[in-house]
Structure 1
């Protein structure tokens, strides 16, 4: 395979498409599978039961598929799954899952992962997200589609971040962040909704108005969570095309744990 640098160490059992490019001094283990069009920079280590999809761009000094940092881990064959068209920048570290957490750490498609990002064991990251430099998520975190994590964001284990959300630089997120919410602070507080992001993604004025109404119910009108959820059921009659957005919020709020709650 002429696309593999002579100094790279690729285990003969690894499965690499013939179009995969591997840079100097990179090490790839026996249980790794890499699909067409993906490029691996120099000085990377890809190990464990790791599967990487098509057309990813993985930069130098990245560590993918190392054993997790859970003290309960006993060597089980857990996985790291990476989808298609992701950019993973320098010094990023993504670990395999644990048996207790489902066995899989997953990164979806079309994500933009900047330098020093960390995905701990059993994290599930959706599609079209942006993790700025040094964004770190602990074990069992779930990140929805189109989420943006500001630089130096730290997310507590078992926290969920709903789709289209955003965090400011240096945010410490200790509770679930509902869809569309923008948070900032240490610990994080809900500041607004990600209205500019929604406009850029083609949300209509009516859908954005519905998101504003959900924000008002959750954070402005001194309602209980159950009262806020009940008010949201009325929004599809008021704002055209918002049914899926309201359902997204309702499903998220229906999955809250008493331990974590939502960011306030």
Structure 2
């Protein structure tokens, strides 16, 4: 049996691994499944059709798996899927998906989600991300692996935030942010490549320089986006050690619907 505080409520039908810990006054609803080693703090509520992996930590007062804050929602069965090794600090809220999208909100592995963060319906969060205090993500947002979003930032629905990007605090994000890009502002403005973060993740100086060239091609050379992507493909063929990284750029723009703010 899971380790459940005497004041907590675990509804019949919930599936908890025997090593799960549930704190005082927490409530876990019937359609919830929680994997090994996960800890649910005091006063947390986990409901909806929610599947949670292993070794996650939910600090006190989290609200996980609530119905979408979408007026089109009509009680369809939609889901929330959370991976392994994530940390959710106080008062984090995450909603399930909607029938208008893929029907599932997803959180990957090893994410650090700080206090008061809201992740709305149908968001797709990768792995190893950091969402700082009070980041607010509207519906249908995609966040790539290793992305960092600074505190008190808010993001418009349907945007994409690319892998390895870093967004400064109090940013108003209204258009897509490509992979590797550093920026901030109201509205958000790009300011270069997230070189310090890339160094910490083992990118070589040569790889970072190639990504700087890609950034200049997109943002500084007054090219149309179509022409800039042609140049990035050429850069990719000339730099095989950076080909996979540049492919992230190319794949990102192929999927971008919101456009990107350029200087």
Show CA shifts across 1:31-72 (max 9, x none): 000000000000000001011000001100000001110001
Q: Which runs of 5+ in 1 are unaligned?
A: none
TM-score (norm: length of structure 1): 0.97
- Is 2:79–2:96's contact at 8 Å kept on the other side of the alignment? yes
| Distance of aligned partners of 1:26 and 1:247 in 2 relative to their CA distance in 1, 3 Å threshold | same
1:262 is matched with which residue? Answer: 260
Q: 2:84 is paired with a residue of what secondary structure?
A: coil
Gaps in structure 2 of 5+ consecutive residues: none
Q: How far apart are residue 237 of structure 1 and its match?
A: 4.2
Distance, in Å, in 2 between the alignment partners of 1:78 and 1:66 is 10
User: Cα RMSD (Å) of the superposition?
Assistant: 0.9
| 3-state SS in 2 of match to 1:64 | strand
Measure the CA separation in 2 of the matches of 1:165 and 1:216. Answer: 16
CA distance in 1, matches of 2:223, 2:209: 19
- Following the alignment from structure 1 to structure 2, what is the Cα–Cα distance between the partners of residues 238 and 195? 21
Alignment of 1:223-242 (within 5 A): 223-242=223-242
CA distance in 2, matches of 1:66, 1:58: 15
Q: Which residue of 2 aligns with 1:81?
A: 81
Give, in whole Å, the separation in 2 of the partners of 1:222 and 1:51: 47
Moved beyond 6 Å, runs of 4+: none
C-alpha contact (below 8 Å) 2:130/2:148 kept by paired residues: yes
1:238, CA displacement in angstroms? 3.7
| 1:53 aligned partner | 53
Distance 1:255 1:225 in 2: 13
Deviation, 1:2, is 5.8
Residue 93 of structure 1 aligns with which residue?
A: 93
Residue 156 of structure 1 corresponds to: 156
User: 1:50 & 1:144 partners in 2: Cα distance?
Assistant: 22
- How far the C-alpha of 1:236 sits from its partner, in A, is 3.1
CA contact (8 A) 2:2 2:16 kept: no
Q: Which residue of 1 aligns with 2:43?
A: 43
Shift of 1:220: 1.1
